[in-house]
């Protein structure tokens, strides 16, 4: 009789291990997918910051608000869509010769590699400010 009892004890431990592993995967897989989305968002935000900085530098070399707007837009026109970063838009250009600086705000449309339920594309906004270098200094 004692031998039969030990066989059942081994079987139930094997079953318990399977249940524990399955429930562990149910918890670990969503966490891993969330981490993938988080890394993609951080990467897309970094790309948006770089493009905003380049557009702001292009606008800072101009002498008027109109030409600064065009220069920033021309810089952003070179953007090529990627798997996560779908599109980048110029939201605002503030050309302020009195303060001697130009500010550019960009918005990037991002598509998550692992779609989040009830959430579509995520828009990331970034602002950048640079000193104006296209206007000669007053004498």
Q: Give the pLDDT confidence of 1-46 residue by residue, as tens digits.
A: 455 555 555 556 667 788 888 888 898 999 999 999 999 999 999 9
Tracing tokens 């998550």 back to the chain, one arrives at 112
Question: Is 89 inside a domain boundary?
Answer: yes
Residue 65 confidence (pLDDT) above 60 = yes
CA dihedral 27, 120, 72, 91 (to 10 degrees): -120
Domain of residue 122, residue span? 2-131
Helix (H) and strand (E) counts in the chain = 2, 3
Question: Is 124 inside a domain boundary?
Answer: yes
CA–CA separation, 101 and 68 (whole Å): 11
CB 134 within 8 A of CB 70: no
Question: Is 107 inside a domain boundary?
Answer: yes
The distance from CA 118 to its chain's CA centroid, rounded to whole angstroms, is 18
Query: Worst-scoring range by mean pLDDT, 5-14, 74-83, 127-136?
Result: 5-14
Helix (H, G, I), strand (E, B) or coil at 47: helix
Count structural domains, the chain. 1
Question: Is 139 inside a domain boundary?
Answer: no
Region for 48 from its dihedrals, namely left if φ exceeds 0, alpha if ψ lies in -120 to 50, beta otherwise = alpha
Question: Is 90 inside a domain boundary?
Answer: yes
Report the run of H or E that residue 102 belongs to, with start and end. Answer: strand 101-110
Q: What is the pLDDT of residue 17?
A: 82
Q: What is the pLDDT of residue 114?
A: 87
Q: What is the pLDDT of residue 18?
A: 81
């Amino acid at each position: 009789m004692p031998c039969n009892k030990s066989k059942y004890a081994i079987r139930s431990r094997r079953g318990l291990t399977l249940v524990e592993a399955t429930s562990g995967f149910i918890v670990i897989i969503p966490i891993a997918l969330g981490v993938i989305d988080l890394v993609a968002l951080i990467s897309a935000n970094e790309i948006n910051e770089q493009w905003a900085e380049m557009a702001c530098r292009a606008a800072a070399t101009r002498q008027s608000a109109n030409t600064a707007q065009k220069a920033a837009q021309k810089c952003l026109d070179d953007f090529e869509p990627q798997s996560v970063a779908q599109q980048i838009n110029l939201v605002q250009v503030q050309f302020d010769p009195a303060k001697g600086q130009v500010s550019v705000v960009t918005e990037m449309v991002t598509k998550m590699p692992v779609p989040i339920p009830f959430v579509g594309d995520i828009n990331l906004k970034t602002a950048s400010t640079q000193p104006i270098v296209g206007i000669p200094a007053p004498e």
